[in-house]
Chains A and B, each alone.
Chain A
Amino acid sequence: MSDYNFAYLDEQTKRMIRRALLKGIAIPGYQVPFASREMPMPYGWGTGGVQVSAACLTPDDTLKVIDQGADDTTNAVSIRKFFQKTAGMNVTDTTSEASIIQTRHRIPEQPMTVDQILVYQVPIPEPLRFLEPRETETRKMHALEEYGLMHVKLYEDIAQHGQIATAYAYPVKVEGRYVMDPSPIPRFDNPKMEMAAIQLFGAGREQRIYAIPPYTKVASLDFEDYPFEASKAGGECALCGADHTYLDEVIIDDDGGRMFVCSDTDFCESRRAAGHVGTQGAPIKEDAA
C-alpha cells in the first residue's frame, strides 16, 4: 500500500509523538499533551494506542494486538489488520514472540520482557476526572501533588461498602509522584505493572500520552488497614485449569449456566498445548487455530 506512509502516520507526526513519548518516559506517570490526529478509526476505538504503536513500529517488529485479553475480539482483529495493511507488519498471537503488544483492558498473563513494549489504549487518562471534571483544575492538582480528594473518595468507598469499590482502572501512584490511571484494566492486573517492558499509554481523543519505564515502582492506592487486593473471580479456567489467571464468565445455556475461562486466550492455549486440561476442556491439537 503506497498511498500512505509506513504505519499510516507521516514522519513529522511520528516525530511529534515520539517526543511526547520520550517526555512521558522521563516523567513517569505524567500526562503529556500531544497533537493527536484524526485516525481512520473512531475515537474510542483505540486511536491513542494506534498512534503510539505507529510511532514505535519498525519494519522488523512483530505486533500483537489484544482486546479484553483476546487476539480475536473484533476490534483487536481490526487494529491488527490496519497495521498489516499500512505497514505490512509481522503479526503474532503469541505473547513471547511479539516486540510490541497493543492492548485494551488487559495485561498479558505471561510476564513481559525487557525487549518488549506494551501499548495501552486509554479512554480517560485523568485519574481525577470523575472527582473534578475540569482539566484546568486537575492539572493544577497534579502539579501540586494534591491527591487528598482521591484518598477521600477511597475512604468513602470503605465507609459505604466496606471496601474500595473500584474494580478496574484502579488508580496507581508512579514512582512516588504522579497518580495515574492504569487504563481500564481490572485491578487484578495492577501488580503486573512493575515489569521489565516499557509501558506506553495513548489517549487519542483526550490528546494525552504517558508512560512507565521498565522496573518503575507502581503502587496501587490503598490504606494501611485496608491494603490493596488484586481480585478476580474465584475458581479455575474450565479449559486449561489455571487458577492464577484473570477469568471471564461465559454464559453457556438458557438457564444462565456459566463457566469461567481465561481472558488471555494466548496464555490459555499455550497451557492447553502444554497438556493442561480443565474440567470442560479438551487437549488442544497442534493445528488448531
Chain B
Amino acid sequence: MYVAVKGGELAIDAAHAWLDDARRGDTSVAELSLAQIHEQLSLSVDRVMSEGSLYDPDLAALAIKQARGDMIEAIFLIRAYRTTLPRFGYSAAIETGDMACMRRISATFKDVPGGQVLGPTFDYTHRLLDFKLAAEGGAGSSGSNEPSSPTSGASPDRKPHITEFLNKDGLIEEAVTSNETPPDLTREPLELPANRALRLQNLTRGDEGFLLGMAYSTQRGYARNHAFVGELRIGTVDVEMDIPELGFTIDIGEITVTECETVNQFKGSKTEPPQFTRGYGLVFGQTERKAISMALVDRALRWKELGEDNVGAPAQDEEFVLSHSDNIQATGFLEHIKLPHYVDFQSELELVRSIRAEAQEYQMQEAVQ
C-alpha cells in the first residue's frame, strides 16, 4: 500500500537547522564579526548596499554573514528588509561636485585641475597571490591601528567635474538639469518607455555582472559608442534633508559613492552638430566596475534621443535591459523551477502520450494501406 508522503514541514525545519550549522562551519574556527566583514570585505559590503538599494554598511555586513557570502542572497535579504521601512521623506540631490574624493581619475586628460588621484585601486597591482596574507595574525602591510575610513586620505578641496571643461567649448552635449521629481520604481511598477532618470535608477540597483556583460557587448561592437572615461571619482558626499519642522536643510550624514562620466563620440545628426555625448553612472560605495558599466549602458540606451540608428543590439533595447537587470527578480524566477511542478509535468506527460498514440495510429494505418 502506498502512503502519500507527508513531512514537508519537518523537512523544512531540518533543512533550516542544517543551514545554520553550515553557515557557522567548523566551530573551532573563530566566528566572523560584522566589524570584520565591514572592515575587511568592504567591497562586498558596497555591492550589497548598491544592489540592495539601502545604504547601511552594518546591515549589509550582517546580510553577507547570514547569506554565507552569497552576494545575491545577501542583496535579497537587504531588499526584503528595505521594503518594510517607512519613508520619512526625500533628501536633497547629492552634490557630487563637492565630493571628498579618495579616488579621482580622468582617462581623457593627462592633468586636470584638482589632479589625478589614484586612491585605493587594484589597477596597477600585480595579481600575484600574497602568501603573507595567509599567515594568520599578520597586521598586513599598512599595519594601521586606526579603523580605515573611506575618507581617510581623501582630499578635502573641491574638484570640478572634468566634463565641464569640454562643455566650455560646446564640444560636449549640455547635461540638462531638471528639478522634476524622478519616478520611483520601488513604488510604481516599471512602465515603458522609461525616461532617463528611471533607467538610471534601474541600472544603479541592477546586477553588476549583467551590466558588465551589457557594457562589454557595446565595446565589442553591439552598438559601439566609443566611450572614454572622462572622469571616475569615488568619495564621500553629504546627504542633506529639508526638515519641514525646522524650515531649513540639515546635513544628516555622508555616504560613499562612485560616479563615472563617460565621454562618447557622436558623429552628429540632422539636428545636432558633431560633438561628444555623455554616459552616466552613479553607484553606492566603491563600485567602479559597476559605475563604468552603468555609464556605457546608459549611453547605449540613449540612441533615440540622440537620433542614432537602432542597430538591434541588446544594450540599445530598453525593454530588454531594464526587464532583466534585477538579479533578485532574475534569480527568483530562475530558481523557482526547482519547486514542485508535478501537476504541469503530468499534463505534459499526458499530452505527449496522446500525440504519440495518434502518430502511431496514423503510421499503422499507412502501413496497412
Interface residues in chain A, defined as those with a beta carbon under 8 Å from any beta carbon in chain B:
4, 8, 10, 33-40, 42-45, 47, 67-69, 72-78, 81, 105-106, 123, 134-136, 161-163, 165, 167-169, 184-188, 205, 207-208, 231-233, 238-239, 246-250, 252, 259, 261, 263, 265, 280-282, 289
User: Cβ of A8: which chain B residues have Cβ within 8 Å of it?
Assistant: 84
Contacts of B192 in A (CB 8 A): 135-136
The contact sample of 7 A-B pairs, CB cut-off 8 A, is: A43-B333, A43-B336, A73-B8, A74-B8, A123-B333, A239-B2, A280-B1
Considering only CB atoms, which chain A residue lies closest to B184 in the complex?
A: A35
Instruction: Confirm or deny: B169 has a beta carbon within 8 angstroms of a beta carbon on chain A.
Output: no
Chain B positions within 8 Å of A, measured between CB atoms, are 1-2, 4, 6-9, 11-12, 76, 79-80, 82-84, 86, 186-193, 319, 323, 328-329, 331-337, 339-344, 346-351, 354-355, 358-359
A-B residue pairs, 5 tightest by C-beta: A44-B336, A43-B332, A167-B347, A42-B332, A207-B189
Chain B contacts for A259, CB-based, 8 A: 2
Report whether B351 and A73 are in contact in the complex, using a CB–CB cutoff of 8 Å. Answer: no
**Bound-state Cα–Cα, A76 to B339, Å:** 11
Known A-B contacts: A135-B319, A136-B193. Give 8 more (CB < 8 A). A42-B332, A42-B335, A43-B329, A44-B332, A105-B341, A136-B319, A248-B343, A282-B1
* Chain B residues near A47 (CB-CB < 8 A): 332
Could you tell me if A38 and B339 are in contact, using CB atoms closer than 8 angstroms? no
Q: Which of A33, A78, A105, A187 has the most CB of B within 10 A?
A: A105
Interface contact A68-B351, CB-CB below 8 Å: no
Are A45 and B190 touching (Cβ within 8 A)? no
For residue B16, give the distance in angstroms from its CB to the closest CB of chain A.
Answer: 10
Are A167 and B350 touching (Cβ within 8 A)?
A: yes
- From the candidates B4, B12, B347, B349, name the one contacting A77 in the complex (CB within 8 A): B12
Residues of B within 8 Å of A77, CB to CB, are 8-9, 12
Nearest chain A residue, comparing its CB with the CB of B77: A40
Number of A-B contacts (CB under 8 A): 154
CA distance in complex: A47, B350 (Å) = 30
The residues of A that contact B350 with a CB separation of less than 8 Å are 167, 231-233
Assess the B189–A186 pair: CB atoms within 8 A: no
CA distance A74 to B86 in the complex (A): 32
Residues from chain A with a CB closer than 8 A to the CB of B86 are: 10
Q: How far is the CA of A231 from the CA of B347 in the complex (A)?
A: 8
Most chain-B CB neighbours within 10 Å: which of A34, A165, A289? A165
Which single member of A35, A161, A231, A233 contacts B187 (CB below 8 Å)?
A: A35
- Complex CA–CA separation, A259 to B2 (angstroms): 9
Query: Nearest B residue to A69 by beta-carbon distance?
Result: B343
Closest residue of chain B to A42, judged by CB?
Answer: B332
* Cα A43 to Cα B336 with chains together (Å): 8
Bound-state Cα–Cα, A8 to B80, Å? 11
What is the chain B residue whose CB lies nearest that of A265? B4
Task: Name the A residues within 8 Å of B9 (CB-CB).
Answer: 72, 77, 81
